[in-house]
């Protein structure tokens, strides 16, 4: 009998030089807006800083070198649910015990890029000063409509559907049981993997708990939780305009962002700065080349609009799905510089919490900002669950 499972194919993209020439021409022809004197970042992206960054993008940034660096990761594409899914699949190097498969789910505004620094630390811990017994087989997919995965042509997929795709992907790769981890949108996906595939997920690790949804009596909340709800509401007023646009009118914003590379950079870089542990200077958390690698991935794949549509899909998930409690063993690493960090009481209300830590550095993009710390968090959390797949 033939094996009817989809077969992953190696994937190494090579950008047409003409596409890069077009990008540079568009950057040089940017029609820049005015800005009030000394506005800085107070009204959104600092236009002066962005002009400097885009000048480097046009005349100094070497995408070909960055593309070659990303190609050192073992990358594949496979057909799942009618979509071509791009993913990294890196196997453990010289393991000294049971190898735990681990699927890592990214968020917005990024892709598999979020985990590009941490993959070797997880697959080959012995080469990075850690215990070889903590090696993982690592799978990092691009969500549909992000990176090099296909863009859905019909209704956008929500986090529940993506979790189902990831369960299918792990089946294709031969992993019956595995761990799941993620942040931002990837935290949602990891949560639904644990909820809907609890027979396969041995434990789930998240760097946030998402924005809170509570349908019970507010009097049942602790004072700490009520204070946190107030903080989230204040954050949504000051920071949440992007999310409202994504949920309601992604196509409107997409016309400009997909046409103007400077506009695309403005939309993404502002969030890299606001959500990272950079103290107000984005280049403390990311080099210019790292920033532009992320933004260029969005430009070349044309995925800014499709990535935003996932917010629209997630907004339609029924409240009864959003408030289900995760019973799979759950761990949280709440990095110091992340946004809307939840209290322990909320975590325990919503999940079977077995581990909570507060690393001293790192923000919303912790796997990229602080890959060593993030790898240590995953090694420590998943260590007790290796026997479940051994």
The residues annotated with a catalytic role in the active site are: 184, 311, 364
Q: Choose among 75, 105, 267: nearest CA to 183.
A: 105
Helix (H) or strand (E) holding 300: helix 288-301
Helix (H) or strand (E) holding 105: strand 100-105
Distance in Å from the first CA to the final CA of the chain: 28
Residue 228, beta-bridge partner list: none
Size (the chain), residues: 390
Q: Choose among 196, 215, 197, 193: nearest CA to 206.
A: 193
Residue 322 phi, psi dihedral angles, 5° rounding: -70, -25
Cis omega (within 30 of 0) for bond into 109: yes
Please tell me the distance from the alpha carbon of residue 355 to that of residue 337, in angstroms, as a whole number. Answer: 19
Q: Using an 8 Å Cβ cutoff, are 276 and 365 in contact?
A: yes
Please tell me the distance from the alpha carbon of residue 155 to that of residue 139, in angstroms, as a whole number. Answer: 26
Please tell me the distance from the alpha carbon of residue 73 to that of residue 76, in angstroms, as a whole number. Answer: 10
Q: Using an 8 Å Cβ cutoff, are 184 and 114 in contact?
A: no
């Amino acid at each position: 009998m033939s094996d009817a499972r989809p077969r992953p194919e190696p994937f190494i993209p090579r950008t047409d030089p003409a596409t890069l020439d077009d990008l540079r021409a568009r950057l040089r022809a940017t029609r820049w807006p005015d800005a009030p004197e000394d506005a800085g970042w107070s009204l959104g992206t600092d236009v002066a800083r962005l002009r400097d960054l885009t000048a480097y993008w046009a005349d100094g940034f070497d995408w070909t070198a960055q593309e070659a660096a990303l190609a050192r990761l073992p990358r594949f594409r496979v057909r799942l649910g009618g979509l071509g899914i791009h993913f990294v699949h890196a196997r453990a190097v010289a393991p000294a015990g049971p190898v735990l498969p681990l699927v890592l789910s990214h968020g917005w505004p990024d892709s598999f890029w979020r985990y590009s620094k941490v993959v070797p630390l997880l697959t080959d811990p012995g080469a990075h000063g850690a215990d070889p017994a903590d090696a993982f087989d690592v799978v990092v997919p691009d969500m549909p409509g992000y990176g090099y995965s296909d863009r859905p042509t019909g209704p956008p997929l929500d986090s529940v559907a993506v979790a189902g795709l990831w369960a299918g992907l792990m089946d294709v790769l031969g992993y019956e049981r595995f761990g799941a981890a993620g942040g931002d949108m990837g935290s949602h996906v990891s949560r639904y993997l644990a909820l809907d595939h609890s027979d396969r997920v041995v434990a789930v690790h998240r760097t946030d708990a998402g924005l809170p949804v509570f349908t019970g009596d507010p009097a049942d909340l602790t004072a700490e939780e009520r204070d946190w709800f107030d903080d989230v509401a204040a954050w949504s007023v000051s920071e949440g305009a992007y999310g409202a646009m994504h949920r309601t009118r992604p196509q409107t914003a997409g016309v400009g962002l997909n046409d103007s590379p400077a506009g695309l950079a403005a939309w993404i870089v502002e969030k890299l700065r606001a959500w990272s542990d950079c103290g107000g200077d984005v280049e403390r958390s990311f080099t210019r080349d790292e920033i532009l690698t992320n933004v260029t991935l969005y430009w070349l794949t044309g995925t800014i609009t499709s990535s935003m549509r996932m917010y629209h899909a997630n907004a339609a998930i029924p409240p009864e799905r959003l408030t289900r409690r995760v019973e799979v063993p759950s761990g949280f690493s709440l990095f110091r510089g992340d946004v809307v960090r939840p209290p322990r009481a909320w975590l325990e209300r919503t999940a079977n919490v077995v581990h909570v830590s507060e690393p001293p550095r790192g923000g919303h993009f912790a796997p990229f900002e602080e890959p060593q710390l993030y790898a240590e968090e995953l090694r420590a959390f998943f260590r007790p669950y290796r026997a479940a797949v051994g």
